[in-house]
């Protein structure tokens, strides 16, 4: 699908982690949040997509245990071969709050939970 509306461009669809334990938020088209074009699109399955852009941040306390407490549906947590969490999705097609408004509260609760993590200076 194309970047067609405010929700798909500006709302978080998930998080991607690199080997430095840094994260970036991506929109529904797997682009860094707020990007409104597919120019320079990179696969989130690469180790460090968008590494030449300042989109990665390390957060205090954003551990696997913390993530598993927030994301209840384990199918929305993707792991690498070492069983480390590398991608998180805030919703899926069934629970997309734009398409299914009954899921807005669940989605906002996830956003609220992740919003408590502060940037690490390490």
Farthest-apart Cα atoms in the chain, separation: 40
pLDDT of residue 3: 67
Q: Confirm whether 121 is domain-assigned.
A: no
Please enumerate, as own/partner, the contacts of 108-113 that have beta carbons within 8 Å and a separation of 24 or more: 110/70, 110/71, 111/12, 113/69, 113/70
The tally of domains found in the chain comes to 1
- Any alpha helices (H) in the chain, and if so which ranges? 6-10, 64-70, 104-115
Q: Confirm whether 33 is domain-assigned.
A: yes
CA–CA dist 44, 100 (Å, integer): 25
26-69 pLDDT, tens digit per residue, is 998 888 887 777 777 888 888 878 777 778 899 999 999 999 99
Give the domain extent around 25: 6-115
């Amino acid at each position: 699908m194309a970047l067609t509306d405010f929700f798909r461009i500006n709302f978080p669809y998930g998080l991607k982690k690199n080997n430095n334990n840094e994260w970036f938020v991506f929109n529904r088209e797997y682009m860094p949040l707020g990007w409104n074009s597919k120019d320079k699109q990179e696969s989130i399955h690469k180790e460090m997509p968008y590494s030449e852009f300042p989109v990665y941040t390390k957060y205090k306390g954003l551990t696997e245990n913390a993530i598993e407490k927030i994301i209840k549906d384990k199918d929305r947590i993707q792991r690498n071969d070492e069983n480390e969490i590398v991608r998180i999705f805030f919703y899926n097609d069934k629970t997309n709050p734009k398409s299914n408004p009954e899921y807005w509260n669940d989605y906002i609760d996830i956003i609220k939970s992740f919003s408590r993590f502060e940037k690490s200076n390490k």
